[in-house]
Structure 1
Amino acid sequence: MKIAIAQLNPTIGDLPGNAAKILQVAQESANAGVRLLLTPELSLCGYPPRDLLLNPSFIEAMDITLQQLARDLPANLAVLVGTTSKNEQAHATGGKHLFNSIALLLDGKVEQVFHKRLLPTYDVFDEHRYFEPGLQANYFTLDDMVIGVTICEDLWNDEEFWGKRSYTVNPVADLSILGVDVIVNLSASPYTAGKQRFREEMLSHSAARFKLPIIYTNQVGGNDDLIFDGRSFALNKSGEIICRAPGFETDLIIVELDALQQDLLPSAISPHYENLDGEIWNALVLGVRDYAQKCGFSKGILGLSGGVDSALVAAIASAALGKENVLGVLMPSPYSSEHSISDALALAKNIGIKTTRLPIGDLMQDYDQTLAELFAGTEFGLAEENIQSRIRGNLLMAIANKFGYLLLSTGNKSEMAVGYCTLYGDMNGGLAVIADVPKTRVYSLCHWLNHDGEVIPSNVITKPPSAELKPGQVDQDSLPSYDILDDILQRLIHNHESPQQIVAAGHDAQIVDKVLRLVARAEFKRRQAPPGLKITDRAFGTGWRMPIASNWLAVKDVYQQQVILQK
């Protein structure tokens, strides 16, 4: 039996467009003699649809589209399509009104419907908000082959691999007891750096443990802050990879299930990325491209400061949107160094984007004069520094509004974490491209980008980072060095280490305390930031749910003192 894996890039809510993509790959599959076609989780509506699922007309339209798709599909081709289905028992049981489902389309109709059993509620996932969990093991028979059906999270509960269970049931174990011949998994698994090798290791363990071949189908593309990397793959019953689709692009790959061997035969295997920087680069480029296209933008704009962050974002934008569709705006102030201008122009020349220059010195004087009476008797400080950033933000927004550009903000994760950024200034934008990229990774990406020749000018990488909002300013006037800061942030945000643990790892206690307080104090800024592309397992996006008004730090100090006294 030939089985095709459709690695699709749906647009959320575009039911006719998504159905057309499924129909296209179905026709290609039928022409290749495929018997079963797999599509990703919720492939008909795109993942994650979020509160669109609360709209009854959306659910009704999805069902109508599904029925029409079933009628349009080629004969003799079975297709598994991700959709929703109504929970008819919801009123009686008090459960959710929908299931996250897979529909088996065959011979012009919906032949069977299978429900997702394990519903994640961590990080960016909130499926219990919308869905009722399925209670039955899912399988069907096609040409005497018994095919077990799982949906994304259903595969992520192997207690032998994890050393624990996060859910009470293991759908893979249930299917193995039922004696299925192969397990298919239809996923929409968001990208995080390095996640693919973990997926393969986990499913390899399950395939070998249960002696069952597994086919994993993943969505690809950017949807808001989430990036889906695709990289669908299949394993034989020994747990060996027998095929892998490329990352960050759509694809249709075909595998063959041999009835005699009851196993999958080897097929094409796309290689892993040689290093993490190349993988992250491709993710960010895809994220920008899809965010722009799916929101109706064809062109992007950003402020070019001559610094490393804006240089990296400009390079990403050029690759994502085309160099002819990116405008870099230089906005020097009296505090801007000459190399800031020359470095920005050198970068623009290297990547081929257009630039314009808008000096802001006169505008700064206008603000000074307007505020002179009110600010009389005070010293130059943060308010005046931020005015410069807000002037630049206003200019960028004006150009974006006038010409229909997507404004790309350029702040990195390290800055976003500690609030080293200005609301309504450099935080302005429709998309925060590197908001989940720590500063040290920004430098690493720039070095990687230069591996075949200079893209990012060397001076941009080697000079001390500076906001240049006052004479002689550098970032380390206010922050610890970025290698120290990023390690503290990694331990605090990703590893959930206590301040005591971070200090025990070798960091200065006063610096740790300062960083901790900066992170907490900057929450109100992050809440007002544009969506940022997620590339780590702990991003400041939909999965970050911290309170703004909180007194935990003060309480924590008292609590720690009590702990010390008790000891």
Structure 2
Amino acid sequence: MLKIAIGQMDVIPGRPDLNTDKMLSMIANASNHQADIIIFPEMAIPGYLLGDTWEQQAYLRDCEAFGRKIIAAAKDICVIFGNVAVDWGKHGDDGRVRKHNACFIAQDSRLVDIRIKTLQPNYREFDDTRHFFSLSSLSLERREPVENLIKPVKLSIKGKDYTLGCIICEDGWSDDYSVDPIAVLTANGPLDVIINISCSPFTLGKNNKRNRVFSRQAREANTPLVYVNNTGLQNNGKTVYTFDGFSTVYNSTGQIVTCCRPFAETLDYIELVTEAGGQNLPPVNVPDDSDIASLYQAVSYGVKNFLQSIGMNKVVIGVSGGIDSAVSAALYASILPPENILLLNMPSRFNSQTTKDLASQLAKNLGCLYAVMPIEQSVEHTAAQISGTPIINLANGTEHQLNVSSFVLENIQARDRSSRLLAGTSAAFGGGFTCNANKSELTVGYSTLYGDQAGFLAALADLWKHQVYQLAHYLNATIYGREVIPQAAIDLVPSAELSFEQSVDEGKGDPIIYSYHDYLFRAFTEYWNRVTPADILDWYSQGTDVLEQKLGCQTGLIQQLFSGPRPFIDDLERWWRHYTGMAVAKRIQAPPVLAVSRRAYGFDHREAQNNVYFTQEYLRIKQLLLSQ
């Protein structure tokens, strides 16, 4: 029997000193509990998402030094942990010193073995090939089959020999690669345990998929599998990721026999009878990670940790009376003391009494500080200054004046709120101000640059509008157990209220039809094979029911919204032009986005500012539809 300690730790990126101290404490605890092995996550010492910190040799030397401390602490216990392995005598493909993402195995205060990551992801948030030299690359350099380099680890524990298959994160997601590390290890076995150390960010529903994949791997290998992931928060600048841990143990039949509590640093123990393939432990039920409860947990955990990481404990939130700012306020109020939150209502002449009353009611329900700062006077001053100032051509002495259109006036209002009032008020309050934009708005640039698309963190910017509504109901019903977000704010037509054409009292609101466009925009951004207008028109030409099934929106909705191909195509082209046009420039300058979906804006959604383009296939189908 092996007594295994699972060190599901909060890895702090860029702080190998703090991570090492935590690991040493866990090792001591595990030793006191007579554990045979303690397992830590991938890159437990340095952190994983470090950007070009990986290019700092002084940092690499520190990681090595802290790694030696962990090895020395492996006295009466085997320690398996992730760290960077540096080959100072060689260089990587970038000409810098060679670095490997590695799994270290230590016992009796000495390094027993190192296993190098075979498969390196270079998609979504991952950029491994930029920094690390994989085992696959090593095999090419040595002109030796990679299968010869993927070897089990041999250990003797309490006089008994064990064979471990040690892999790192992506090595367990090998379906689309030419190499299957687990199959190779099994062929070189038999194995007693497969160990997967990971640094795997939370994505809504991802654990359900992982459990299917890893259960199958354990079953096919007829070997128990121990997956150890970290908690905490890491980022690549523009995108912030939460890590839920959710470390899990599968027996040799693929059944889950234990899983660590998500989003919690913990040191858990299991006693694994390897001869029985771990079937000595009863199967357990695991929580679903694709529901609104998981979404709230990830967003709340991310906001709380982000505030702690930047040392911010006060926030100012612009509240309009609408749903996005209400959810943002309720979210932050569930994390910070209410006296550390200032809700600021900034009405103009276009704001209704309805929304002003809802903003006030929200503040009262949450117990937060509240202030009303009208912007009408300053907006009028700015508009008058722009339109009243002569523009002079110094070459010939001619002059003219600019016209402030209604559209420009809308942008002036949004920027006056954020760039002037929210920025100035948050500085005086001693905090930062939030960005309340949702993913639907961010997708098509339905926001004002330096206006409502400003702030220190966009906590809701990876949530579609319908998820924002779901979160509102969850906050009321589950987190607060009462109606803190007024029902009227939930029922209200979404509107920016920047002109009389957006009067909520008259039922006038945003141009985005969220019940349809949420799903259209999601297809543009989140589908693994990214959907384009050509795909949309192809599905549409097969029948609106086919398109609705492909998008996942309500059945019968498209025929309700569009009378025929022409208005449907006009709508499609309008939003595609926004999504691939000006919205790109806005997203590049947006605040960091807290990621929860399968593809978040920022580093996860890598894009360039290119011209709007419609493919030849799209133009062909369009012509066919319009000629019928």
Q: Is the 8 A contact 1:464 1:474 kept in 2?
A: no
Q: Alpha-carbon deviations, 1:83-103, whole Å to 9, x = none?
A: 101135634988871000122
Q: In the alignment, does 2:206 pair up with 1:177?
A: no
For residues 92-133 of structure 1, the C-alpha deviation after alignment (integer angstroms, 9 at most, x for no partner) is: 988871000122233333332221110001111110001111
Cα gap change, 1:402 to 1:94, in 2 (>3 Å): closer
Deviation, structure 1 residue 561: 4.2
Take 2:279 and 2:74, find their aligned partners in 1: how far apart are those partners? 24
Deviations 1:184-218 (A, max 9, x none): 11111111111111010110011111111101111
Of 500, 519, 527 in structure 2, the residue corresponding to residue 487 of structure 1 is 519
Q: How many angstroms apart in 2 are the aligned matches of 1:22 and 1:198?
A: 29
Instruction: Identify the range of structure 1 (74-83 vs 8-17) with the bigger mean alpha-carbon deviation.
Output: 74-83
1:273 CA displacement: 4.3
Output the amino acid matched with 1:417: T
1:323 positional shift: 3.1
**Is residue 193 from structure 1 mapped to residue 193 from structure 2 by the alignment?**
no
Which residue in the other structure is 1:157 paired with?
174
Paired position in structure 2 for 1:416 = 442
Change (3 A) 1:295 1:383: same
Unaligned runs of 5+ residues in structure 2 are 136-145, 391-400, 541-546, 549-557, 559-567
What's 1:117 paired with? 118
1:316-335 deviation per Cα after TM superposition (whole angstroms, max 9, x unaligned): 21223343432221212222
Instruction: Rate the CA distance shift 1:304–1:562 in 2: closer, same or farther, 3 A.
Output: closer
Residue of structure 1 in register with 2:84 after alignment: 84
Counterpart CA distance in 2 for 1:185 and 1:108 is 22
Change beyond 3 A, Cα 1:189–1:331: same
- Residue 585 (structure 2) aligns with: 524
The 1-side partners of 2:535 and 2:102 are apart by 44
Cα deviation, residue 382, structure 1:
1.7
Q: CA deviation at 1:410?
A: 0.3
Q: Secondary structure at the match of 2:434?
A: strand
In terms of Rg, which structure is larger? 2
Structure 1: which amino acid aligns with 2:532?
Answer: S
The Cα of 1:2 is off from its aligned counterpart by 0.6
Structure 2 Cα separation of the partners of residues 77 and 309 of structure 1: 51
Alpha-carbon spacing, 1:307–1:268, altered in 2? closer, same or farther (3 Å): farther
Task: Summarize the Cα distance change of 1:133–1:519 in structure 2 as closer, same or farther, 3 Å threshold.
Answer: same
How far apart are residue 308 of structure 1 and its match?
0.5
**Which residue is equivalent to 1:341?**
356
Letter in 2 for 1:437: L
For residues 137-159 of structure 1, what are the alpha-carbon distances to aligned partners after superposition, in whole Å with 9 as ceiling and x for unaligned? Answer: 2532242111110100000014x
Distance verdict in 2 for CA 1:323–1:268, change over 3 Å: farther
Structure-2 residue corresponding to 1:406: 432
| Match among 229, 232, 245 for residue 218 of structure 1 | 229
1:471-520 Cα offsets, whole Å, 9 max, x none, are: 24169765241111111112222232232432411652221111111101
Structure 2 residue identity aligned to 1:14: R
The 1:92/1:389 distance shift into structure 2, 3 A limit, reads: closer
1:157-556 matches, within 5 Å, as: 157-158=174-175, 166-178=176-188, 179-224=190-235, 225-263=240-278, 265-266=280-281, 269=284, 271-273=286-288, 276-374=291-389, 378=403, 380-393=405-418, 394-451=420-477, 452-473=481-502, 479-495=511-527, 496-503=530-537, 504=540, 505=547, 507=558, 508-521=568-581, 522-548=583-609, 550-553=610-613, 556=615
Residues 272 and 281 in structure 2, CA contact (< 8 A), matched pair in contact too: no
C-alpha contact 2:320 2:346 (8 A) present in aligned 1: yes
- TM-score normalised by length of structure 1: 0.92
The normalised TM-score by structure 2 is 0.84
| SS, match of residue 102 in structure 1 | strand
Cα offset, 1:341, TM superposition = 2.2
The one-letter code of the counterpart of 2:593 is G
Contact 1:245 1:269 in 2 (8 A): no
Cα gap change, 1:45 to 1:547, in 2 (>3 Å): same
- Conserved in 2, the CA contact under 8 Å of 1:223 and 1:291? no
Q: Which deviates the most, 261-270 or 48-57?
A: 261-270
Distance of 1:93 and 1:127 partners within structure 2: 12
Contact 1:245 1:270 in 2 (8 A): no
Determine the structure 1 residue equivalent to 2:619.
560
Q: Is contact 1:242-1:265 (8 Å) kept?
A: no
Counterpart residue type for residue 569 of structure 2:
A
In the alignment, structure 1 segments of 5+ residues that lack a partner are 159-165
State yes or no: 1:35 paired with 2:36.
yes
Correspondent of 2:163 among 146, 149, 167 = 146
Q: Distance in 2 between matches of 1:190 and 1:305?
A: 33
Shift of 1:377: 7.4
Q: After superposition, where does 1:32-111 map in structure 2 within 5 Å?
A: 32-71=33-72, 73=73, 75-87=75-87, 90-91=90-91, 97-111=98-112
Kept in 2, the 8 Å contact 1:480–1:511? The answer is no
Q: Could you tell me which amino acid in structure 2 is paired with residue 137 of structure 1? A: I
Contact 1:400 1:406 in 2 (8 A): yes
**Secondary structure, in 3 states, of the residue corresponding to 1:317?**
helix
CA shift, 1:3, in A, is 0.6
Moved more, 377-386 or 171-180: 377-386
Separation (CA, whole Å) in 2 of partners of 1:239 and 1:455: 44
Per mean C-alpha deviation after superposition, the further-off stretch among 529-538 and 28-37 is 28-37
Shift of 1:19: 0.8
Q: Do the aligned residues in 1 keep the contact of 2:533 with 2:618 (CA within 8 Å)?
A: no
Letter in 2 for 1:81: F
What amino acid maps onto 2:438 in structure 1?
N
1:93–1:373 Cα change, 3 Å: closer
| Residue pair 1:432, 1:530 contacting (<8 A) in 2 also | yes
Contact 1:59 1:84 survives alignment (8 Å): yes
Alpha-carbon distance in 1 for matches of 2:227, 2:261: 13
Q: Secondary structure at the match of 1:97?
A: strand
User: Which shows bigger deviation, 363-372 or 388-397?
Assistant: 363-372
Q: Deviation at 1:354?
A: 1.9
Root-mean-square deviation (Å): 2.4
Q: Quote the Cα distance in structure 1 between the aligned partners of 2:65 and 2:14.
A: 14
